[in-house]
Structure 1
Amino acid sequence: MSNSTTLASKAHKRSLSIKSLSIKSLTLLGFGLVALPLVIALIFGASQVNTLAKKSASAITGITKILDQQQLLKSSQIKLERSAAQYLVLRDPALANSYNEQCKQILHLTEQLIVASQDQELQLLITEYAQTVMALIEQTMPEAEQKSPTDSTIIKPIQVKFSSLNATYEQITQRSGELSTLRITDIQQAAQAVRDIMIQSLVIIPISILVAAIFIFLITSPLKALTQIIFRLQQGHFNHEIKVIGSPEIQEIALALESMRTRLQALELQKSSFIRHISHELKTPLAAIREGTELLYDNSVGELNAEQQEISHIIKDSVFRLQKHIEDLLNFNIVLDSTSLQDSELMQVNDVVYQVIAERKLDIKRKKLTLNNNLSNISLYGNRKHLAVIIDNILSNAIKYSPDEGVIKISSSLVNEHLQLLIIDQGMGIAQENQEKIFDAFYQGPPPEKSLIKGSGLGLTIVKELILRLNGNIELLNEQSEQQGTKIKITLPRAFRQEEPV
C-alpha cells in the first residue's frame, strides 16, 4: 500500500513539474518529442530505400553484364566454328590466325563470366565450356590438321565438339535465366520487406499525434482556465479565489487576476453598500415630501389658487421622477449584486405578469389603455424578482410611449423549452439609428408627447443585463417604419408548460 502511494505521489510530482515548465520550454519539448520519432522513421526509411536501390542497381548491372558476355560468347563461338571449318578445308594461314584469336577471346570471356557469375553451378558450367574449347584447341584441331582436306571425315569431330559447346552454352543460358529470376525475386522480397517496415513505421504517426495532443492540452488547458476565470469576472462573480496550475507565465497572469479580483470585490461591496445606503436615506424624506405634496395638490389642507396648483403639480411630478430614479438605481444595484442570481425558484409566469399589471393599474387607467393578454400556462425556473423587474421595465415603457386609449398586447408561448414573451405597444416606435443604443446605460430616447418626466436611462440596461444573466435573450422586432409601435420579444430558458391552468 505504501509503495503504491509513493509511486502515485512521484507521478503527481512529475506531472506538476511538467506543468510548471514555461510555455517556451513546453513548446520546444513537445516539438522535440513529436519530431524525433518522425525524423528517426524518416532516416530509417530512407536508409532502407537506399539499400534496396543499391541492391537493385547491383543486381541489374550483374545480370546485364552476364547477358552481354553470353551474347559475345555465342557470337565468338559461331565465328570460331566457321573459322575452324574454313581453315581445315582451305588451310589458309589467315584463317588459322582468325581461329586462334577467336579461341583466345572465348577463353577470356569464360574467365570474365566465372568472375561475374558468383554462382557455383554456373561457374562449373562455364568451366566445362572452357575445357571443351581447350580440348578443341589442343586435341581435336591438331588431329584434324593431320588429315587431308579432301577427307570427308575431317569436319565430323569438329562438329561433335561444337555440338557439345552448344549444349553447354544452352545450360549456361538456362542457369543465367534462373539466376536472373532469383535475383528479381530477392529484389521483390526486399522491396516488400521495406514496404512492411514503412507501414509499421506509420504507427509512429498516431503516437506523435498523441504526444502533440498531450502537449497541446498542457499548454491550452491553463489558458482555457484563465479564459473561464476572466469570463466569470466579467459576469461579476468575485467570490471565488483564482488558482491555476501551469507555467510561470500562466501563474503570473493568475496572480495578477487574483489581485484584480480582490480589488474588484472590495469595490463591488463598497458600491453596493453605498447605493443601498443612499437609496434608503433618500426614500424616507422623499416619501414625506410626496405625501405632503399629494395633500397640497388634493386641497386637503385648504383651497389652492391656479398658480399654487401649478407649483404643487410641478413638485409632485419632480418627486415622482426622483422616486423613479431611485427605483431604477435600486434595480441597477440588483444587477450588480451577483449573489442575487442564486435565488432561483419555480414560478408561474402568468402570476408575475398579472402582479406587474396590478402595480401599473393606475398608470394604465390614467391613459385609458387597453391590455390584450394572450398568456399560456407556462412555468419557469428562475429568479422571480428579476423576472418582475424585466416585465415591469418593458411594460412601463409601453405605457409611457403609448397614446391615450391605445392598446398594449402581451402574449407568451413555449418554444423548445424556452419561454417567449412578446410585448407590443402602439407608440411612435424606435428610429432605426437609435435601435442599437437603447440598451446602453443612461441612453434616453426622445420623450413621448405630453410627457415632462424623463427616465434615468437605466431601465433597458437593467433588463438586458438581467436577461443575459438568466441565459436569455431580448430582441427588438420593429419594422423600418417608426409608426409600427415597439415590439419586444424576451426569450428565457428552463421553461415548461403546466398540466393544469393557473
Structure 2
Amino acid sequence: MNLFRLRPKSFFSLVLSAMFVVSLPLLLVVIASDLLMDRLVLDSTRSVYRSVTASELSQALQEQLTRQERRYRQYLVLGDDSIQEDLQSAIAQINGTISSLLAIPHNLELKALFDLLANQQKKIQASLQPTRGVGATISDDDFSAINDTGRQIYLLSQRGIYNEVETLHREEEQAEKLLFALASTCLPLTIILVFFLTRLITRPIKQIDQGLHLLGQGDFTTEITVNGPDDLASLGTRLNWLRQQLAYYEQEKNKFASHISHELKTPLASIHEAAELLGDGVAGPVSEQQREVIGILRKNCGELKRLIENLVGLTMAQAERACLQMSEFDLKDLVAEVVGDYKPAIVNNTLTLTMVIDTCTLLADRQRIKTVVDNLLSNAIKYTPSGGTITIFGQNANGQVVLEIHDSGPGIPESEQEQIFSPFFHGAATTCRSHVKGTGLGLAIAKEYVAAHNGTLELVQLVETGACFRITLPHIC
C-alpha cells in the first residue's frame, strides 16, 4: 500500500498533519496530568474539610460533654426546672454533634465509639424522665465513661488527620508513578513518530535534491521520480521533463560538434595540402617572403586542427564515458613516456623535472590517462619560467593511486580556480611561454577522462607559489 495515498494533497498540509500526529502523545500526557492534578486537588480539599470538621466537632463534643456533666450535677442538687431545660438542650446539642460526626466518613472504630456515646446519652436522657426514680441517677463512673468516650473520639479524630495526610502522600506517589510511566511510554512513541514523519516529509525533498544533483552532474539518463504530495510529485514530473529536454539538447550538441568537426576537417586538409605544395615549389619558385607566409599558414592550420581534435575529444569524453579500452599498465612507465615526449622542451627551457612515483598498477584506459598526464604536464611546462622546477609525485594511498604535478609558475588566481575546468576557459595569466593562445579544452578533457574512471581531478591549494593538480584514481577503475 502506498503511504502517500493517505497523505494530504499539499506539502503544507502534510507538515501540519505531521505536527498534529507528533503532538498527540504530548497532548495525552498533558491531559492525563491535568486530570490527575484535578483529582489530587479535589481529594486534598475533601480530606482537609473532613479532617478540620471532624477535629472541630470532636473538640466541641468534649466541651459539650463537660457542660452536660456540670448541668446534670447542678440539677441533682437544686432540682430547678430551668436547669433541666438547659440540660435537655445540652443533650440535644450533643446528639446533634454525634449526628454530624456520623455524617463524615470514618473508620469502624470511630463509628463504634459514636454508637457507644449515643447509647450513653440515651441513658442520661432516660434518667431525666419523671417515671424514673432516684435509682436511675447517673453515677460518677457513668460520667467518667462518657468523658472517656469523648476523649477517645477526639484522639481518633486527630489520628484521622494524619491518616488523611498519609493517604494523600500515597495518592501523590501513585500519580507521579503513573505520570512517569505515561511519559516513559509517550516519549519513545513521540521519537518514533518524529523519526518516521521526518523521513516521510524529507523523502520527496531528498528525491528532488538527488534529481537536481544528477542533472548538475550531467546525468540525463536516470529517471527522476518523486513520491510525495501532489505539489511535490508535480515538481518531480517537471524535473523529469527538464531532464528529457536536456538529454535531447545534449544529444543534438554532440551531433553538431561531430558534424561540424567533420565538415571543418575536409577543407582544412585541403588548405594544409595546398600550403605544403606551395612550400615544396610545385606552383613555382617561392621567395623568402612567400615562404614566411606559407609557414604562418601551416602553423595556423596545425593550431586549427588541434582545436578541432580537442573539440571532438571533449565531445567524445562527455558522450561516451562508458567506452573505455581497459588494460593493465604501470603508471610510472606511462608518466616516464610522457616526460620523454617533452624532454626537448624541458632542456631548451632549462627546467628541472623531478619524478618520484611508486610502482602503481592501474586497470584503466591507458590512452586516456596518458592524455590527462600529457595535458597537465604541457600546462606545467608552458607556465613554468626558465630555470623553474616541475615535480611529479605518485603513490598508493588507501586503495587508490594519487598523482600530483606541481610547477613553480605563477599559480592560478583565486578568482579563476572555480572556472579552470570549464570548456573554452582562458585564464588571465601573462607569463605563459607560448605566444599561441590555447583552446581552453585541455583541463576540461582531462577532468572528463578522469571522471570516466570514477576518479577525481582537482586543484590543490598551496602555500608556496605555483599550481598543483592532483589525480586520484582507483586501482581498478
SS in 1 for 2:306: helix
2:407 aligned with 1:425, yes or no?
Answer: yes
Out of 95, 114, 123, the position equivalent to 1:135 is 123
Aligned ranges 1:305-454 → 2 under 5 Å: 306-337=288-319, 339-340=321-322, 347-361=329-343, 363-364=345-346, 366-367=348-349, 369-380=351-362, 382-404=364-386, 406-431=388-413, 434-441=416-423, 442-448=425-431, 451-454=434-437
Q: Distance in 1 between matches of 2:324 and 2:36?
A: 67
Question: 1:54 is matched with which residue?
Answer: 42
Contact kept, 8 Å, 1:444 with 1:456, in 2: the verdict is no
Residue 443 of structure 1 aligns with an amino acid whose one-letter code is H
Structure 1 residues without counterparts, runs of 5 or longer: 1-11, 148-155, 497-502
* Matching of residues 68-467 of structure 1 within 5 Å: 68-81=56-69, 102-136=90-124, 139=127, 159-176=140-157, 179-180=160-161, 183-184=164-165, 186-202=167-183, 203-286=185-268, 289-290=271-272, 306-337=288-319, 339-340=321-322, 347-361=329-343, 363-364=345-346, 366-367=348-349, 369-380=351-362, 382-404=364-386, 406-431=388-413, 434-441=416-423, 442-448=425-431, 451-464=434-447, 466-467=449-450
Deviations 1:165-223 (A, max 9, x none): 23212432454356446545554454444444434433244334434433333332233
Counterparts of 2:261 and 2:249, CA distance in 1: 18
Post-superposition Cα deviations, 1:276-303, rounded to whole Å, max 9, x if no partner, equal: 2322343455456556657877999998
Structure 2 CA distance for partners of 1:376 and 1:300, relative to 1, 3 Å: farther
- The 8 Å contact of residues 372 and 409 in structure 1, kept in 2 or not, is answered as yes
Partner of 2:456: 472
Counterpart of 1:263 in structure 2: which amino acid? Q
Aligned in 2, Cα 1:408/1:297: closer, same or farther, shift over 3 Å? farther
The residue type equivalent to 2:95 in the other structure is L
The letter of the residue matching 2:255 is S
Q: Deviations over 1:348-402 (max 9, x none)?
A: 3223323433444454455454432111112345554543333222211111122
C-alpha contact 1:418 1:494 (8 A) present in aligned 2: yes
Q: Give the match for residue 488 of structure 1.
A: 468
Amino acid in structure 2 at the alignment position of 1:350:
K
What one-letter code is carried by the residue in structure 2 that aligns with 1:475? Answer: L
Inter-partner Cα distance in structure 1 for 2:101 and 2:305:
118
Write the deviation string for residues 29-60 of structure 1: whole angstroms up to 9, x where unpaired: 44444444543454344324322321232122
Which deviations, in whole Å up to 9, do the C-alpha atoms of 1:84-134 show, x marking residues without a partner? 567777999998887666545433322221222454542331232243345
The answer (yes or no) to whether the contact 2:208–2:236 under 8 Å persists in 1 is: yes
**TM-score, normalization: structure 1?**
0.77
Aligned equivalents of 2:442, 2:273: Cα separation in 1:
25
Which residue does 1:66 correspond to in 2? 54
Question: How many residues of Structure 1 are paired with residues of Structure 2 in the alignment?
Answer: 472
**Residues 390-448 of structure 1 deviation map (CA, whole Å, 9 limit, x = unaligned):** 32222111111223454322111233334332222233444455555544442332343
For 1:385 and 1:93, how far apart are their aligned partners in 2?
138
Cα separation, 2, equivalents of 1:122 and 1:345? 104
Change in 2 beyond 3 A, CA 1:382/1:142: farther
**Farther off after superposition, 465-474 or 444-453:** 465-474
- CA distance in 1 between partners of 2:186 and 2:235 (Å): 36
- The structure-2 alpha-carbon separation of the partners of 1:433 and 1:116, relative to structure 1 and needing over 3 Å to count, comes to closer
> How big is the shift at 1:272?
1.2
- Over the aligned positions, Cα root-mean-square deviation in angstroms equals 4.1
What is the TM-score when the length of structure 2 is the normalising length? 0.81
8 Å Cα contact 1:26/1:215 also seen in 2: no
SS at match of 1:444: coil
Helix, strand or coil: the match of 2:361? Answer: strand
Q: State the secondary structure of the residue aligned to 1:339.
A: coil
Percent identical among aligned pairs is 27
Q: Quote the offset at 1:337 in angstroms.
A: 1.8
Counterparts of 1:184 and 1:253 in 2: how far apart (Å)? 65
Cα 1:393–1:142, aligned 2, differ >3 Å: closer, same or farther? farther
Q: Distance in 2 between matches of 1:100 and 1:307?
A: 156
Q: Which moved more, 1:393-402 or 1:381-390?
A: 381-390
Which segment is superposed worse, 404-413 or 20-29?
20-29
Partners of 2:142 and 2:205 lie apart in 1 by 92
User: 1:500 aligns to what?
Assistant: none
Once structures 1 and 2 are overlaid, which stretch shifts more, 258-267 or 86-95? 86-95
Return the alpha-carbon distance in structure 2 between the equivalents of residues 372 and 355 of structure 1: 14
Cα distance in 1 for partners of 2:348, 2:299 equals 14
Residues 22, 248 of structure 1: 8 Å contact kept: yes
DSSP 3-state at the match of 2:104: helix
Question: C-alpha distance in 2, partners of 1:113/1:372?
Answer: 110
* Worse-superposed segment, 134-143 or 448-457: 134-143
AA of the residue aligned to 1:472? T
**In structure 2, C-alpha distance between the alignment counterparts of 1:204 and 1:344, rounded to whole Å:** 59
Q: CA deviation at 1:227?
A: 2.1
In 2, Cα distance between the equivalents of 1:99 and 1:343? 126
Distance in structure 2 (CA, Å) of the matches to 1:201 and 1:262:
54
Give the conservation status (yes or no) of the 8 Å contact 1:346–1:380. yes
